[in-house]
Every structure is written in structure tokens, then in C-alpha cells.
Amino acid sequence: MSSFHAQQPVRTLVTGAGGFTGRYLVDNLRERGHTVIETFAGRDEEQTPTRLRLDITSPENCRHVIEAARPDYIVHLAAISFVGHDDPLDFYRVNVLGTLNLLEACAATGHTPRKALIASSANVYGNVTSDAIDESFPLTPVNHYAASKAAMETMVHTWFDRLPILIVRPFNYTGRGQASNFLVPKIVEHFARREPSIELGNIDIARDFSDVRYVVRAYEALLNSDATGETVNVCTGRPYTLREILSAASDLTGHKLQVNINPAFVRQTDVKVLAGSPAKLRALVPEVQAIPFMDTLRWMLAA
């Protein structure tokens, strides 16, 4: 940090700051000396200079927030991310048009941040049979969530020559505080409560699970890197099946859990193996080390 930065704290706007990832990222950025301006969607909360209400679907509201914050950095996490969300149109309203509103707001207010980091998803790759998907793979989304993120990326590319933007494609990640409609927290909760059984879908699907603490460290390091006009996978390169996770959780807790396969949880569009290549991420931010998944599982079970 230069002495100029010492007098002028770095201002970073985080959309979706109240979400699972946002809470960890905000803590991480504050520890690194950023003044974080969080946005929230709810109506009930009072606004403060560092907590602003943002309806991402409103162009006018987006302009107001960018004008008020004039951030050095933007990290755009706000999205509808639960694949089973019931209104397909919401995915496009929030994930595509919401992102466009934010970029248009920068243009409309004449504000160019040092960098905007925009979170996409590895779901854009679709059902690819590969254990090392890199950023050059084609986008073949198989559900509305993934399709909305792919459309969002395509739209963001048209802004690469106008704003310094970096798109991140995180693969699956987890940690303490993630909602129990996600698989790993659901498994952890069942073991923690020593439930007799659990209902799951296909336990042989394999995912490249990262630790949320690693993901936010990667985001923060990428903000500080020189990379812009790029897309970067955020992953570890090591897939685990749910069967392996169940077995590891059983070893860690000494508890045996009866697994019942519920056909309703087996989605036809489920991707069988989704594991990324972290080669580009490691080249850009070699200082960020992945956290072994068994350590993540141990940390979550200890909560």
C-alpha cells in the first residue's frame, strides 16, 4: 500500500454482501484495509454511508448507488443462485439485466472503477465430461441458472473495452453458514445432529468443492492483480463424490448415516463430474493456496 492509500482508504462496493459469499468477502476485505460499501435488497433496514439499499433490477437505483459510493472497486455477487428457484424469469432479470444495470450505471455516472469483479459460475460449462475444465471450454448450460450466467458473461464481454472487468467462474464451494438446501451443509447438519438417515439424489456425482475462505481470498487477490478483460476459473482441480464426502464425515464423527436415494432429487440435467483447471488462477495469483476439502469438512462439522 502506498502512503497515498494510507490517507485514502480503498472503497469497495460489494453487491450481494449479505449472502453466504458476501459475508466472508466483506470480512476479508475489511481485514485488508478496504472501506466496504455493502448493498442489501431488503426494505426494512436503515441505510448508512456503508450500507446501501440496491434493487439490482432498477437502472435508476443502480445509478443512485454508484453515484453515492463512487467505489474504487466493485465486486458483483448479487444473483439468484439456487438452481431450483421457481421463477425462471427471475434468473434473467437479476443475473443478466441486473448486471447490465450496474455497468450502465458506471457509464451513466461517468465513473470508472479500478476494477469490477463479476461472479459468474462454472455451471456455464454444462455437462462436460472432464476433470480439468479450463476457461477455453465452450459454454453449454443445461438449466436456467447456468443459461442466465452464460448470457450475462456474453453481455459483459461487450463492456471489456469500456470498463476494467474480470469475470470469475467459481466451481462449487462451501463452508460454515451456507444454506442447508446446498448439499454439503445438508450432509454436515445430518451428521452434526446424528440423524439416523438422509435423503439424497445421485451420490456418485463428483464436484470440485472449494472452501469459501479460499474463494474470497482468490477474489481479493484478483482485485489486486493486473488482470482485466479476462475470465478465470476459481477451483481446486480435485473432485469429490458425495459418496466420498459421506464416508469422510462418517470417519470424522464416528456416526453412521443410512442414505436413502430419493428419485425426486435426481435431476436429469445433473452434471456428472464438474472439476475445473485452476492453472490460470494459479498463474495470476500464485500466493492464494487452496484449502484441502477434508479441512473444510472438519471446520464445518466443528461448528
Encode pLDDT of 8-52 as tens digits.
Answer: 789 999 999 999 999 999 999 999 999 999 999 888 889 999 999
Say what the pLDDT of residue 30 is: 97
End-to-end alpha-carbon separation of the chain, Å?
35
Find residue 119's DSSP bridge partners: 168
Q: Does the structure show a pLDDT above 90 at 235?
A: yes
* CB burial string 239-270: b at 16+ within 10 A, e below: bbbbeebbebbeebeebebeeeeeeeeeeeee
Beta bridge partners of 170: 234
Instruction: Give residue-wise pLDDT tens across range 142-174.
Output: 899 999 999 999 999 999 999 999 999 999 999
Residue with cell 455497468: 103
Pairing of strands 258-261, 273-276: unpaired
**Catalytic residue flag (residue 145):** yes
The pLDDT confidence band at residue 82, using thresholds 50, 70 and 90, is: low
Overall residue count recorded for the chain in this entry: 303
Residue extents of the structural domains in the chain: 11-175+212-236+276-291
Average pLDDT, the chain: 93
DSSP E strand boundaries for the chain? 11-15, 35-40, 51-53, 73-76, 115-119, 130-133, 165-170, 173-174, 197-200, 206-207, 210-211, 230-234, 240-241, 258-261, 273-276
Write down the architecture of domain 11-175+212-236+276-291 according to CATH. Answer: 3-Layer(aba) Sandwich (3.40)
- Of the chain, the percentage scoring pLDDT greater than 70 comes to 96
Which stretches of 41-143 are assigned E, i.e. beta strand? Answer: 51-53, 73-76, 115-119, 130-133
Q: What is the pLDDT of residue 269?
A: 67
Q: Are 12 and 35 in contact (CB under 8 A)?
A: yes
Q: Each residue of 118-135: pLDDT tens digit?
A: 999 999 998 887 879 999
Per DSSP, the three-state class of 72 is coil
pLDDT at 130: 80
With 0-12 / 13-18 / 19 or more C-beta atoms within 10 angstroms meaning exposed / middle / buried, residue 80 is middle
Which of 24, 145, 214, 219 is flagged as catalytic? 145
Q: Which of 179-188, 223-232, 257-266 has the highest mean pLDDT?
A: 223-232
Residue 273's pLDDT band (boundaries 50, 70, 90)?
confident
Type of residue numbered 172: N
Its pTM stands at 0.93
CB atoms within 10 A of CB 182: 15
